Amino acid sequence: MTDVAPDPFRNEKALRRLKKRRAADARFRLYGLSAIAFALLALSVLVASIGFQAISAATYHKLRFDIVLDPAVIAPKGNDTPAEISRNVDGFYTLIRSNLEATFPEADEDRMASRQLGELVTRLAVLPTAKWVAENPTQIGQTATIKVPLNDDLDLYLKGAVSKEFRLRLGDISAVAETAPRQVLLTGAGAFKALESLIAVQRQEVGDAVDARSTLVSSGTAMGRVTSLSTDTLEMTLLTGSASDFRTGRPMARMIALPESQRNVSDLQIAWTLALKDMGRISRVPHTSLLTHTDSTYPELAGALAAIVGSLLTMMVTAFIAIPIGIFASVYLEEFAPRNRLTEIIEVNINNLAAVPSIVFGLLGAAVFLGFFGLPRSAPLVGGLVLALLTLPTIIIASRAALKSVPPSIRAAALGVGASKMQSVFHHVLPVAGPGIFTGAILGMARALGETAPLLLIGMVAFVADVPTGPTDESTALPVLVYSWSTNAERAWEPMTAAVIVILLLFLVTMNGIVVLLRRRFERRW
Amino acid sequence: MVQQLGLLPMGWLMLALLAMLASGGFFVGRVQAERFSGAGAARTHSRPNYHGYYVAMWTFVPALIVALGYGLLGDGIVRSMLASELPANFTDMPRVELDVYLNSVARAAYHHGYTGADRVFSAIMNRFLELQGLVKVATIGLALVCAAGGFLLARRRVAPEFRARNRVEGGIEIFLFLCAAIAIATTIGIVASLLYESLRFFAEVPFWDFLFGTRWNAQTSAEFGALPLFFGTFMIALIAMLIAAPVGLFAAIYLSEYAGPKVRGWVKPILEILAGIPTVVYGFFALLVVAPAIRSVAIWINTTLISAGLASEPLLAAQPTSALAAGLVMGIMVIPFVSSLSDDVINAVPQTLRDAAYAMGATKSETVKHVVLPAALPGIIASLLLAVSRAIGETMIVVMAAGQRARISADPTADLTTITVQIVALLTGETEFDSPKTLSAFALGLVLFVITLFFNLIALRVVQKYREKYD
């Protein structure tokens, strides 16, 4: 019968307080989780958006020509040297041009159309063909099958990146009449009902803007642009092909959401491209020229080869300078340096240099290597020197950590059997620390490979049309190519830039993969 | 004949020469030492190899110095010799144009020759090759003479009681020290070049006008008021830190206090991927995805406000490139710099402090807030300072996504420019080292260097103090 004293920790107030505190704890945990979620989300959006763009650049469209390599056009003098033939871009382009004109005779009618037909293939796209013929002169006069890249905007159109497009099949056509030259009237009971309702739905969504849109109707290789429409009749202007093409089968209608005035490809060019595709002359092939071509002002002809070679040359210079010097410097600081003021200054210096903005190293390169020593601009030699200075602190810090992790017993044992200090370090400590040092060196190289700003300041941003052959040739580098392509205005450069980024990231992933493997293989706990 | 010599591949030749000198020196020294040690008569201090190394060192190093001197100065010497011989219409040219001309001469001389009709050009090219040949032959001669001198000096000392190993090791130690001293040389190089060019700039533009002027227009007219650039730099760094500080800090707290070893083992490396992505990739991401998104959001806000009657004209600038886009992406980039260093310092807080708090009945979050964070505060501040310094010095993201217009505007959707953007804009393309335009880039670089150095020094100091506290 004793009164239980009220538990001061279990009364209502305390329990409420405890609940609040637990809620606060859960909230705090949630903040942490959401911070991590945010970072991971940002990373995945970044990777996804670039990957998505890059995938669209992994393939591109090529146009096939079966043409006679007419000696009168490609070797007009009769005794042209291979060099002259390979430079005769005009001749080869004329062949392609006349082939297209024969396929689409309607382009002859006005100059505008003729110019647009010429835009299907960029003039310089015939350069590889010209080189091939120059190397194989027996081909002259023969029929050859050549494939050239399609214009970048039409390539984007075929990939569906130019505009949203609504497609539907029309009903059966009962009569086809040519009311005026190139004006065609299609009749069919209820054949155009679906198209009419599509336009009605679109009118509700975008209002009168729907009138500015092109509606194209195609059958086989023929295509026309709709001018007026009812449930049973459709009037159109023929873009390519002939009215008789519409007699058989059910035509296909496509409404292009972006009005013709707002895109780089005209209705006529779309009609030709689709006709060529229908003829089986356009094929989607892997974009290998991205790896085998050098830079160009035309996206469909551009490639990253010069930049890849430039980056490799730059990395070679950097590695030859930064890795040995970094290792020797760390050996000195870790094993030999006396504890004095000078050593302390060097150490503080290295730590500071590791945090100096990379662009400051670019200024150093511009002022000292270019201005004072007069080394050539835009050269991998200078780029490599600047990047070597930039990565040196990283390599030194990593190597010192690796040397530090070697147990003192190894040094003591070496010294105990009569080795000199130098011998103990170079014969025993350094080999043991090797994998760690190598890891740090690769990480430093990976950082150097991604650096852009210092290279801009020493002029490695130049347009480079030739693959550099040595460290003093004019050159550019992969990250700089990413920058310069991203500043180009045309839409087609976006996926190209993303593709170069993927190439760059593949190099970095490989380097980091080596690091992970090394760590797994050689990590040792003492 | 001399012209042919001008085409000598000096790099390979010098490499071969140095290799030959070193191996020759080694061989001679070793053979000489073997003669007295092989007999076993005398007790030698060093093994024959060390005598070889000693002679090789003395043969190799003088020649190496000559070769390095040629590598750094050779081309410049030839060019200035050639320039002094050129007729007046060349010497009156601006330095950059002359350089470009001489570059084309060098290219013609080395790569494809010249068959055109410009006789002055081909004469200059031939003279260039002659001078190259003279300098190259002189260099090789000088290298050989120096090597021979060193060789003779060293060879005379080879003797049974000579302490060759100690000498060689001393030489190696000097070499190691020189490698370490390159860090100092780099800093001196940075400071000297920035200071030298900046002083030339401040001789033309008053220091205070540069620091506190509000109009920047270096490209077209000579207006060098850098305040808008400082404003843009700090504005973007501030936006970046508003993202990176909370996210990085909370991520670090979660990883070190809440997450199990498995989650930690996965998430930590993934976060570090963010630090390994090249900044130009972030810049492209900002340009491609973030900037258009921010622009459309800003336009939406404008139209909503106007249609709601809350504003009569667009409130936000809604530019295609904006401070917010650059700041946001930079914030993402900086997250791992905050999180990984903070994670380290939080982990370094002794477990006993946590256990004491738990024993008092504190929840996990209370322990973190009242015990762990205060204890780790100096380290966390240091990590934030390093992140700020990184954000201020970051170049590619702002070059691609922040814009070129120098102005002071608190609107985050407006385009701003920064110190680094202007340095890149001023120094890309043909640069002439004498115009105030390019010199101003070095003055901006000096400001950038001083600011980041300030942040770094404080941060490093704090970290050092902190390490001492718990070690």
Give the separation between CA A47 and CA A43, rounded to whole angstroms: 6
Contact residues, chain A, for B169 at CB < 8 Å? 420-422
Q: Is residue A478 part of a domain?
A: yes
Q: Is residue A291 part of a domain?
A: no
Yes or no, beta carbons of A373 and B181 under 8 Å apart: no
Q: Is residue A157 part of a domain?
A: no
Give the separation between CA A173 and CA B336, rounded to whole angstroms: 65
Q: Is residue A275 part of a domain?
A: no
Task: Say yes or no: A317 and A453 in one domain.
Answer: yes
**Are the C-beta atoms of B386 and B275 separated by less than 8 Å?**
no
Choose one of A105, A120, A149: the last residue of a domain. Answer: A149
From the candidates B250, B257, B371, B446, which should be mutated to test the interface with A, based on the most A CB atoms within 10 A?
Answer: B250
Residue A514: CA count within 13 A, CB half-sphere: 15
Burial call A351-379: b when 16+ CB within 10 Å, e when fewer: bbbbbbbbbbbbbbbbbbbbbbebbbbbb
Q: Is residue A54 part of a domain?
A: no
Task: Say yes or no: A99 and A168 in one domain.
Answer: no
**Are the C-beta atoms of B321 and B287 separated by less than 8 Å?**
yes
Closest by alpha carbon to A210, among A225, A198, A221, A220? A198
Q: Tell me the nearest-neighbour CA distance from B297 into chain A, angstroms.
A: 18
Contact residues, chain B, for A504 at CB < 8 Å? 278, 281
Q: Tell me the nearest-neighbour CA distance from B32 into chain A, angstroms.
A: 23
**Residues 6+ positions from A177 with CB-CB distance below 8 Å:** A184, A185, A187, A243
Q: What angle do CA A71, A64, A225 make, to 5 degrees?
A: 120
Yes or no, beta carbons of B179 and A328 under 8 Å apart: yes
The rounded mean pLDDT for chain A is: 88
- The distance of Cα A218 from the centroid of its chain, to the nearest Å, equals 34
Name residue A305's amino acid: L
Yes or no, beta carbons of A25 and B366 under 8 Å apart: yes
Q: Is residue A331 part of a domain?
A: yes
Q: What is the DSSP letter of A233?
A: E
Token pair in block for residue A233 = 């009749």
Task: Say yes or no: A173 and A129 in one domain.
Answer: no
What is the reported pLDDT for A361? 94
Yes or no, beta carbons of A373 and B72 under 8 Å apart: yes
Task: Say yes or no: A377 and A488 in one domain.
Answer: yes
Q: What is the DSSP letter of A211?
A: G
Checking if the pLDDT of A526 tops 70, the result is no
Task: Say yes or no: A124 and A171 in one domain.
Answer: no
Give the separation between CA A173 and CA A190, rounded to whole angstroms: 9
What is the reported pLDDT for A6? 65
Q: Please name the helix (run of DSSP H) or strand (run of DSSP E) that holds residue B223, with its range, or none.
A: strand B223-224
Tens place of pLDDT per residue across chain B (471 aa): 667 777 777 778 888 988 988 898 888 888 888 877 766 555 777 788 888 888 888 888 889 999 888 887 887 888 888 888 887 777 777 776 777 777 777 777 776 666 677 777 888 888 888 888 888 889 999 999 998 998 888 888 887 778 888 888 888 999 999 998 888 899 999 999 999 989 988 988 888 888 888 888 877 777 888 889 999 999 999 999 999 999 999 999 999 989 888 988 888 888 888 888 999 999 999 999 999 999 999 999 988 888 888 778 777 878 888 899 999 999 999 999 999 889 888 988 889 999 999 999 899 999 999 999 988 888 899 899 999 999 999 999 999 988 888 888 888 888 889 999 999 988 886 656 667 888 889 999 999 999 999 998 888 888 777 766 665
Q: In this complex, which of A332, A497, A504 lies closest to B176 when CB atoms are compared?
A: A332
Give the separation between CA B303 and CA B411, rounded to whole angstroms: 17
Contact residues, chain A, for B445 at CB < 8 Å? 359-360, 363
Task: Say yes or no: A416 and A510 in one domain.
Answer: yes
Task: Say yes or no: A473 and A360 in one domain.
Answer: yes
Q: Is residue A315 part of a domain?
A: yes
What is the reported pLDDT for B39? 61
Q: How many domains does chain A have?
A: 3
* Full residue range of the structural domain in which residue A130 is found: 61-149
* Count of C-beta atoms within a 10 Å radius of residue A17: 11
Give the separation between CA A503 and CA A306, rounded to whole angstroms: 13
Task: Say yes or no: A407 and A489 in one domain.
Answer: yes
Tell me the DSSP string of B161-192: T--HHHHHHHHHHHHHHHHHHHHHHHHHHHHH
What is the reported pLDDT for B195? 93
**Are the C-beta atoms of A514 and A318 separated by less than 8 Å?**
no
**Are the C-beta atoms of A350 and A325 separated by less than 8 Å?**
no
Contact residues, chain A, for B392 at CB < 8 Å? 357
Yes or no, beta carbons of A358 and B183 under 8 Å apart: no
**Are the C-beta atoms of A494 and A513 separated by less than 8 Å?**
no
Contact residues, chain B, for A46 at CB < 8 Å? 277, 281-282, 285, 289, 332
Could you tell me where the DSSP H helices lie in B349-435?
A: 351-359, 364-367, 373-393, 396-401, 419-427
Interhelix angle A380-404/B164-204, rounded to 10 degrees, is 130
Q: Tell me the nearest-neighbour CA distance from A450 into chain B, angstroms.
A: 5
Give the separation between CA A94 and CA B50, rounded to whole angstroms: 73
Q: Please name the helix (run of DSSP H) or strand (run of DSSP E) that holds residue A484, with its range, or none.
A: helix A478-486
Arithmetic mean of pLDDT, A52-68: 90
**Residues 6+ positions from B301 with CB-CB distance below 8 Å:** B315, B316
Residue A287: CA count within 13 A, CB half-sphere: 24
Yes or no, beta carbons of B177 and A332 under 8 Å apart: yes
Contact residues, chain A, for B53 at CB < 8 Å? none
| Domain at A518, CATH number | 1.10.3720.10
Give the separation between CA B164 and CA B26, rounded to whole angstroms: 12
Closest by alpha carbon to A484, among A493, A492, A495, A475? A493
Give backbone dihedrals phi and psi of A406, rounded to 5 degrees, phi first. Answer: -75, 125
Contact residues, chain B, for A373 at CB < 8 Å? 72-73, 76
ipTM: 0.89
Mean pLDDT is lowest, of A36-50, A170-184, A474-488, B285-299, for A170-184
Could you tell me where the DSSP H helices lie in A57-164?
A: 71-74, 82-87, 89-103, 111-118, 127-135, 152-158
Closest alpha carbon within chain B to A386:
B186
Q: Is residue A30 part of a domain?
A: no
Q: In this complex, which of B76, B253, B449 lies closest to A360 when CB atoms are compared?
A: B449
Burial class, B213, CB count within 10 angstroms (exposed 0-12 / middle 13-18 / buried 19+): middle
Question: 3-class SS at A9?
Answer: coil
What is the reported pLDDT for B154? 86
Task: Say yes or no: A69 and A130 in one domain.
Answer: yes
**Are the C-beta atoms of A29 and B367 separated by less than 8 Å?**
no
Give the separation between CA B29 and CA B45, rounded to whole angstroms: 14
From the candidates A46, A370, A372, which should be mutated to test the interface with B, based on the most B CB atoms within 10 A?
Answer: A46
- Indicate the pairing of strand A252-256 with strand A214-219: antiparallel
Closest alpha carbon within chain A to B169:
A422
Q: How many CB pairs under 8 A join A and B?
A: 272
Closest alpha carbon within chain B to A444:
B276
Choose one of A123, A149, A175: the last residue of a domain. Answer: A149
Closest alpha carbon within chain A to B286:
A46
Name residue A355's amino acid: A
Yes or no, beta carbons of A332 and B363 under 8 Å apart: no
Name residue B187's amino acid: T
Burial class, B84, CB count within 10 angstroms (exposed 0-12 / middle 13-18 / buried 19+): exposed
Q: In this complex, which of A332, A364, A483 lies closest to B193 when CB atoms are compared?
A: A364
Task: Say yes or no: A171 and A145 in one domain.
Answer: no
Token pair in block for residue B39 = 């007999």
Yes or no, beta carbons of B400 and A35 under 8 Å apart: no
Q: What angle do CA B178, A470, B280 make, to 5 degrees?
A: 80
Yes or no, beta carbons of A28 and B246 under 8 Å apart: no
What is the reported pLDDT for A357? 93
**Are the C-beta atoms of A484 and A405 separated by less than 8 Å?**
no
Yes or no, beta carbons of A24 and B363 under 8 Å apart: yes
Yes or no, beta carbons of B271 and A359 under 8 Å apart: no
Q: What angle do CA B75, B111, A483 make, to 5 degrees?
A: 80
The CA distances from residue A332 to A390, A393, A422, in Å, are 19, 14, 10
Arithmetic mean of pLDDT, A236-265: 86
Contact residues, chain A, for B73 at CB < 8 Å? 373
Q: In this complex, which of A326, A357, A449 lies closest to B452 when CB atoms are compared?
A: A357
Task: Say yes or no: A138 and A179 in one domain.
Answer: no
A178-221 tens-digit pLDDT: 888 888 888 888 888 888 888 889 888 888 888 888 899 988 88
| Domain at A184, CATH number | 2.40.10
Closest by alpha carbon to A189, among A236, A251, A232? A232
Yes or no, beta carbons of A389 and B442 under 8 Å apart: no
**Are the C-beta atoms of A61 and A150 separated by less than 8 Å?**
yes
Task: Say yes or no: A431 and A334 in one domain.
Answer: yes
Q: Which residue has the tokens 């008789």?
A: A244
First-to-final CA distance of chain B = 70
If one compares A78 and B149, the residue with the highest pLDDT of the two is: B149
Choose one of A94, A124, A149: the last residue of a domain. Answer: A149
